[in-house]
Amino acid sequence: MTHPIELYFWPTPNGLKISIALEEMELPYVLKPVAIGKGDQFKPEFMAISPNNRMPAIVDPDGPGGKSISVFESGPILQYLARKSGKFYPSDERKRVEIDEWVAWQIANVGPMFGQASHFRNYAPNLVDDPEKIAYSVARYNNEVNRLLGVLERRLTGRDFIVDEYSIADIASYPWVKIAQVFNQDMSNFPNVQAWLDRIAGRPAVQKGAKVGAELRKPPPAPGSAEQKEAAKALFGQTAASVSAAIKSAN
């Protein structure tokens, strides 16, 4: 009997990469919500599988040798699931190296830069008294989003997908690139990227995976509300000491 994969998840672009992959690969899974605005990422059972206090993470009860395995970091999770299912990650070494490059490009560039752009656009205005103080940061990360769209635009010239055929490289980038307009990007400057987004959005498994956890998603809490303060405390200004304290109090 196969056991479902446990997906530790919150519906952000990093979480949605994995729900989309699991739907695409037709691997059974159960959702384990990690409410990151409430501090679930510091709970001992989660920290045991994800020591960086970030979701997504998975536990596969039917791992190698029939024993349970946990994986954190979305890149290695995608690579593990693709090897397990034998889908979207060809075994040809040259193709696999290219896919690895573009998965790493996503997790080292698109995720962090789009993530910072989102922070300075959506959250920083509620955290600092003077909006002028964040103008430089907003511009810096919006420029990075723009530069990265340019990288993808060039890569997709003459290609339908990042590495020729649809692969985990596309799944990794899709949920972030899809929201690029939010960061003042004019997608008409990136026609290859827009066509690629439309191509991927047409896939039934992507539509299903992108809706996972929609019931958990709420509009951002009102500035100054108790909920917003709780989320800001859990998510922002993290230091080694504050994370140690959060882990202790979640114990």
Ligand X SMILES: N[C@@H](CCC(=O)N[C@@H](CS)C(=O)NCC(=O)O)C(=O)O
| Interface contacts to ligand X, rule CB under 6 A | 12, 14, 36, 41, 53-56, 73-74, 107, 111, 235
55 or 113: CB nearest ligand X: 55
The least CB distance from residue 12 to ligand X, in Å, is 4
Distance, CA of 7 to CA of 60 (rounded, Å): 9
Q: Is 41 helix (H, G, I), strand (E, B) or coil?
A: helix
Quote the DSSP letter at residue 84: H
Of residues 123, 180, 122, the one with CA closest to residue 150: 180
52 or 181: CB nearest ligand X: 52
The least CB distance from residue 88 to ligand X, in Å, is 17
The least CB distance from residue 235 to ligand X, in Å, is 5
37 or 155: CB nearest ligand X: 37
Strands across the sheet with 57-60, in order? Answer: 29-33, 5-9, 57-60, 69-72
The CA-to-CA distance between both ends of the chain, in Å, stands at 34
Tell me whether residue 87 is exposed, middle or buried, using C-beta atoms within 10 angstroms of its C-beta: 0 to 12, 13 to 18, 19 or more: middle
The least CB distance from residue 100 to ligand X, in Å, is 14
The least CB distance from residue 213 to ligand X, in Å, is 12
175 or 190: CB nearest ligand X: 175
Q: Which residues of 34-73 are buried (b: 16+ CB within 10 A; e: fewer)?
A: bebbebbbbeeebbebbeebbbbbbbbeebeeeeebebbe
55 or 117: CB nearest ligand X: 55
Q: Are 145 and 134 in contact (CB under 8 A)?
A: no
Distance, CA of 178 to CA of 198 (rounded, Å): 9
The least CB distance from residue 58 to ligand X, in Å, is 11
In the chain, what's the furthest Cα-to-Cα distance?
A: 58
The least CB distance from residue 199 to ligand X, in Å, is 23
Q: Are 179 and 142 in contact (CB under 8 A)?
A: no
12 or 192: CB nearest ligand X: 12
User: Tokens standing for 1?
Assistant: 């009997």
18 or 194: CB nearest ligand X: 18
